[in-house]
Amino acid sequence: MCYYNGQKVTRDEFIRLKHLEKLVSKYQFLNRDVINGFDFGKSAVLIPTKKENGQEDVELVQMEWGFIPDPLTWPFWETREQVNVGRYPHKDHRGNFVEGLNFLNAVSEEILFKNKVYRKAAIDRRCLFLSSGFYEWRHIFPINKKTGERRKTSVKYPYRIGLKDREFFWMAGIWQQWEDAETGEVVDTAAIVTTKANQLMKQIHNTKERQPTMLSDGLAWEWIFGSLNEKRIQEIASWQIPYEELDYYTLAKDFLSSHDPLKSYYYHDLPPLEVPGGDLNTAVPAGDQQLGLF
């Protein structure tokens, strides 16, 4: 899945690539190295709009990362209090333990199922999440030196993943406007679409073998502007970016609390990644550390 994202983009690059000069005044919200999805805060999302002459246009807005379904559908969250409780593990009114429903990610294979909360949004309200790099953890089960068997508890190694030669890229998303029945609060909420992991991501996110649906420029345009039938929506939502286009490196295990969270970190005990064509381990030794993806 994808629960940690980055949205740090230089002003010049953002304007050059997307010609959105009017958004420069909002540049301050594009300066976050790591966004923790479990904070359910604001993220930069691109939505389609139209000019007065009918020409397609785009607008970059902030939406709450964590889709909140229509209050009239399951799980029937009508108030912010219900949302705040329901997003985290809790006990229901009978005292039974209930897993939290964070709705941060929408599984592409299920996005159009009749009984899924994402279906109408996938058909009518598609958007793009901006990303300068996302974060996943690789789980390694070390050998117990005494028994010679693998330990049952894994050691987790964080990675930052992005696109080669690109400062930022787009991930498929869907969005929903939600209103609090008590206070009248209206908020736009969104989820990142995820797909099956490619050959590289299967080894990095090796517990669930998922990755965000990272789109090429052409597919990104089609995702938000195209008049898509359900077959095409499913095709784009499930698209896997070729692993050769990905760039990645390992981070320190405490990178989330570091003053420089993007600094790479080399692990001598970490087995290399492998895909067809050879070794893909690009971690660099201490003293020769890379500071970024792009």
Say yes or no to pLDDT of 248 above 80.
Answer: yes
- Whether the predicted pLDDT of 14 surpasses 50: no
- Residue 288: pLDDT above 50? no
Out of 68-72, 254-258, 262-266, 288-292, least confident range: 288-292
Whole-number CA gyration radius for the chain: 20
Q: Identify the pLDDT of residue 289.
A: 32
* Average pLDDT over all residues of the chain: 85
> What number is the average pLDDT over the span 186-199?
97
Whether residue 284 has pLDDT greater than 60: no
Task: Give how far the C-alpha of residue 8 lies from the chain's centroid of Cα atoms, to the nearest Å.
Answer: 14
Q: Between the CA of residue 21 and those of 18, 38, 89, 260, what are the distances in Å?
A: 9, 31, 42, 29
At 144, the pLDDT band (50, 70, 90 cuts) reads confident
Mean per-residue pLDDT for 149-155?
Answer: 87
Q: Is the dihedral of CA 31, 34, 39, 43 positive or negative?
A: positive
For the chain, helix, strand, coil in percent to 5 are 20, 35, 45
Of all residues in the chain, the percent with pLDDT exceeding 70 is 83
- Average pLDDT (246-258) is 95
Give 203's contacts (C-beta < 8 A, 6+ positions apart): 138, 273, 274, 275
| Mean pLDDT to the nearest integer, 25-37 | 75
Q: Which helix (H) or strand (E) holds 217?
A: helix 217-225
Superfamily of domain 4-279: SOS response associated peptidase-like (3.90.1680.10)
CA atoms lying within 13 Å on the CB side of residue 37 = 24
Extract the tokens encoding 220. 């990104």
The pLDDT tens digits for 50-66 are: 777 767 778 889 999 99
Residue 269 has pLDDT above 90, yes or no: no
